[in-house]
Amino acid sequence: MHHFQYRGNELYAEEVAVKDIVAKAGTPVYIYSHATLERHFRAMDDAFAAVPHTICYSMKANSNLAVLKTFANLGGGVDIVSGGELYRALKAGIDPKKIVYSGVGKKDDEIEYALKAGILMFNVESEEELDRINEIAGSLGTKAGIAIRVNPDVDPETHPYITTGLKKAKFGINIERSLDQYKRAAAMPHIEVIGIDCHIGSQLTKISPFVDTIRKLKRLIAGLEEAGIRLTYFDLGGGLGITYDEEAPPLPAEYGRAIVEETRDMGLHLIFEPGRNLVGNAGIMVGKCLYTKKGEEKNFVIVDAAMNDLARPSLYGSFHGVQAVCKDQDGSIVADIVGPICESGDFLAKDREMPRFRGGDLVAFMSAGAYGFAMSSNYNSRPRAAEVMVKGDTFTIIRERENRDDLIKGENIPDFLQK
Ligand SMILES: *Cc1c(COP(=O)(O)O)cnc(C)c1O
């Protein structure tokens, strides 16, 4: 069941009218459905019920503490990409033994923090990083669990900005060089080789690139075994897509079946790093129409949400469904929905047929739970939006709207400028 539905003309989030949330939290606001988060987590978890596995939610998609705690309560771990994310994960009560650490630019202090926290493993993305982790683990008198993030050179057939597993990408270690790096790692005194990792891209709508990747990695794993290197974990990354518009990605159950079939004989503990799939359709963003305007060639609906709140349309030309929070408009128009930011790239929808919104109407942007708030900024000195979690007939503000003092936090005017 979908948890953002109309009752009569009114859009609801679970059992709560969206307009009642806005009355308390204002706009722009992100609204997440707790039931949807749980359902998506369970769908992924159940898809691998037949084999040992851990779902390590890729928290860069949405790192609010309440979202993390929702998954922690269901036994989830996380995939982190910074020390800041580790801090959030620990605050939310994620078990450190279910934390994997990806990213091409891990800094010394972040590696140290992760070692002290006792995370499961580092997904190593370069030869130099491997040396650095060995050194830092040595200085702390400990051993670092690692996997090598292998770049399998597989095309995920998605947007170029979210393609990560091709040779030209900055991510991972080329599959041809990985065996040598594993041998080097196995000989390091402060490294414990425990896994293999890959992540080929985001918003995949086909299973075949995942299967191609597994087949390539299996050949590498066979080579590792010949070299006496035995692994425990096989981390398949994230990337399973969702429906924003007309896409029809495989369901988690189908994805699970295909992967279990390919990996069953290997006897490895599987790790998954889904981000978008768990949170994307569990959230919406709601803004308010300020003005409408008829340009020379186009109609514009100007709302109080902008590219600083939801960057995906500006960044990737992404599609977010547009719906009226109260369906009482008179007919429809074709228009662009734009925000107040002084950039022509500041749009949330383009050339879209939509209800004939008027000043004061609330506009919902669908499928905004992933890479929505998490990518937001203060550009144009706009305080970041509030975030709300709905559960049944109740809701909680899980992040206060920023205020003007938040905007200048940490700034100083030097003495030489004082008059
Ligand atoms: C972003 C990312 C993910 C999650 O990608 P989704 O498409 O949101 O599932 C998983 N693993 C790594 C290493 C990532 O960078």
Instruction: Give the pair of three-digit tokens for residue 295.
Output: 């340009």
369: nearest Cα among 303, 296, 276, 262 = 276
Residue 61, ligand 1, Cβ within 6 A:
yes
Q: Which atom of ligand 1 is nearest to the CA of 60?
A: 1
The answer to whether 307 and 347 are in contact (CB under 8 A) is yes
Q: What is the DSSP string of 130-142?
A: HHHHHHHHHHTT-
Q: Do the bridges between strand 362-365 and strand 386-391 make them parallel or antiparallel, or are there none, so unpaired?
A: unpaired
Backbone angles phi, psi at 28, to 5 degrees: -70, 150
Cα 370 to Cα 59: distance, rounded to the nearest angstrom: 9
Residue 273, ligand 1, Cβ within 6 A:
yes
The beta strand positions in 313-409, using DSSP E, are 322-324, 332-338, 347-355, 362-365, 386-391, 394-399
The one-letter amino acid code at 3 reads H
Instruction: Give the pair of three-digit tokens for residue 75.
Output: 């036994």
Q: Do the bridges between strand 269-272 and strand 53-58 make them parallel or antiparallel, or are there none, so unpaired?
A: parallel
Q: Which among 101, 205, 234, 273 is the best mutation to test ligand 1's pocket, defined by most ligand atoms within 8 Å of the CB?
A: 273
- What distance in angstroms lies between residue 184's CA and the mean position of ligand 1's atoms? 27
The answer to whether 224 and 231 are in contact (CB under 8 A) is yes
Per-residue pLDDT, 232? 98
CATH 2.40.37.10 placement within the chain: 4-31+280-407
Instruction: Give the pair of three-digit tokens for residue 379.
Output: 């550009």
Residue 275, ligand 1, Cβ within 6 A:
yes
Q: Which atom of ligand 1 is nearest to the CA of 240?
A: 9
Q: Tens digits of per-residue pLDDT, 246-273?
A: 999 999 999 999 999 999 999 999 999 9
Q: Which atom of ligand 1 is nearest to the CA of 202?
A: 7
**Angle, helices 127-139/175-186, rounded to nearest 10 degrees:** 20
Residue 151, ligand 1, Cβ within 6 A:
no
Sign of CA dihedral 298, 373, 150, 255: negative
Residue 62, ligand 1, Cβ within 6 A:
no
Strand (E) or helix (H) holding 100: strand 99-101
Residue 238, ligand 1, Cβ within 6 A:
yes
- What distance in angstroms lies between residue 202's CA and the mean position of ligand 1's atoms? 6
Place of tokens 């851990």: 54
Q: Which atom of ligand 1 is nearest to the CA of 102?
A: 13
Sign of CA dihedral 137, 143, 144, 148: positive
Per-residue pLDDT, 159? 77
50: burial class by Cβ within 10 Å (0-12, 13-18, 19+)?
Answer: exposed
Per-residue pLDDT, 376? 98
Q: Which among 102, 205, 279 is the best mutation to test ligand 1's pocket, defined by most ligand atoms within 8 Å of the CB?
A: 102
The one-letter amino acid code at 10 reads E
Per-residue pLDDT, 200? 93
- What distance in angstroms lies between residue 23's CA and the mean position of ligand 1's atoms? 35
Per-residue pLDDT, 1? 54
CATH 3.20.20.10 placement within the chain: 34-278
Residues forming the active site: 342
pLDDT averaged per 10 residues, the chain (length 419) = 91 98 98 98 98 98 98 98 98 98 98 98 97 98 98 84 77 94 98 97 95 96 97 97 96 98 96 98 98 93 98 96 98 97 95 98 98 98 98 98 98 96
Per-residue pLDDT, 196? 98
Residue 147: C-alpha distances to residues 86, 235, 236 (Å): 18, 8, 11
In residues, how long is the chain? 419
- What distance in angstroms lies between residue 213's CA and the mean position of ligand 1's atoms? 15
Cα 369 to Cα 398: distance, rounded to the nearest angstrom: 14
| Class at the top of the CATH hierarchy for domain 34-278 | alpha beta
- What distance in angstroms lies between residue 238's CA and the mean position of ligand 1's atoms? 5
Cα 40 to Cα 34: distance, rounded to the nearest angstrom: 10
Q: Which among 62, 67, 79, 100 is the best mutation to test ligand 1's pocket, defined by most ligand atoms within 8 Å of the CB?
A: 79
Residue 79, ligand 1, Cβ within 6 A:
yes
Cα 109 to Cα 92: distance, rounded to the nearest angstrom: 21
Cis geometry, peptide bond prior to residue 156 (ω within 30 degrees of 0): no
CATH of domain 4-31+280-407: 2.40.37.10
